[in-house]
Amino acid sequence: MAAKPLDIGDLSFARKGDAQEHFRQILRRHDPGVALSEPDATQVYWLLERHPEAAVKIGAGVKEFSTRSAMFDTRCFEIRRIDGSTTDFSVKPCLDGKAPSAFAETLRAMRTEVFEDIKQMKWEFFRASTHPDGKAPCALTGRLLSLEEAMIDHAPPKTFKALAERFLDENKIVPSEALLTPAKDNQYTPHLADSDHAEKWRQFYRANANPRIVAR
């Protein structure tokens, strides 16, 4: 199926992937906390207008944009409103033009709940490295990676999605908004609302995850 062109403000892209890369480049070239310069600021406003919760995100009005460090060594955009309040938003929902599904949001929340575990796993791989400069091999290519070049992946068949689906199925949990903490400013991802569910999931993840180091 042919890729669909995408217009964002005065920008035109042949496909969604091109738009995604364009805004990723904006995220990369601005230091966190520094106000975006033009034309990037205007282009990011055009992007924000496509967000499914654009009116809530804009609130009293946008004073400026900047970038912010987010979970899993990523970045997102930060909005500073004219009333001094701030919030964040990411590129994907803007490009999709719709809110993520209940399952997708549940998956994000479950990943958030084990964020510290995943971070610890990554450190353990590099602590165990016997390479002189502390690098660790990519599980897929064997190429030596630095800490900054690497990320944690979950080897099939126990991918992160498969683990999450198994946990939900075994515990008869149906993904829904009720499972998640309510949306609010500066909450990059939701959490599981039930602390017992969250702890049970963390225990399940630690017992079943099969992590590996791969290149970003």
Tens-digit pLDDT profile for residues 176-187: 989 999 877 777
- According to the model, what pLDDT value does residue 176 have? 92
Instruction: Give CA separation, 61 vs 8, 54, 183, in Å.
Output: 20, 11, 19
Token pair belonging to 92 = 């994907």
pLDDT of the residue at 71:
76
CA 173 from centroid of its chain's CA atoms = 23
Query: In the CATH hierarchy, which top-level class contains the domain 6-96?
Result: alpha beta
For residues 17 and 5, give the distance between their C-alpha atoms in angstroms, rounded to a whole number: 10
Own/partner long-range contacts of 63-68 (Cβ < 8 Å, ≥24 apart): 64/35, 64/36, 65/35, 65/36, 65/40, 65/41, 66/30, 66/32, 66/33, 66/34, 66/35, 66/36, 67/27, 67/30, 67/31, 67/32, 67/33, 67/34, 67/36, 68/32, 68/33
Query: What percentage of the chain reaches a pLDDT higher than 90?
Result: 81
- pLDDT bracket for residue 121 (50, 70, 90): very high
With 90 as the cut, is the pLDDT of residue 160 above it?
yes
Residue pair 11/25 in contact (Cβ under 8 Å)? The answer is no
- Domain borders along the chain are 6-96, 102-215
Residue 156 pLDDT greater than 70, yes or no = yes
Q: Report the chain's mean pLDDT, rounded to a whole number.
A: 93
Mean pLDDT of the region 141-164: 93
Q: Tell me the C-alpha distance between 167 and 163, whole Å.
A: 6
pLDDT at 54: 94
Rounded mean pLDDT, 63-92: 92
Enter the pTM of the model: 0.74
Task: Please tell me which residue, 128 or 37, carries the higher pLDDT value.
Answer: 37
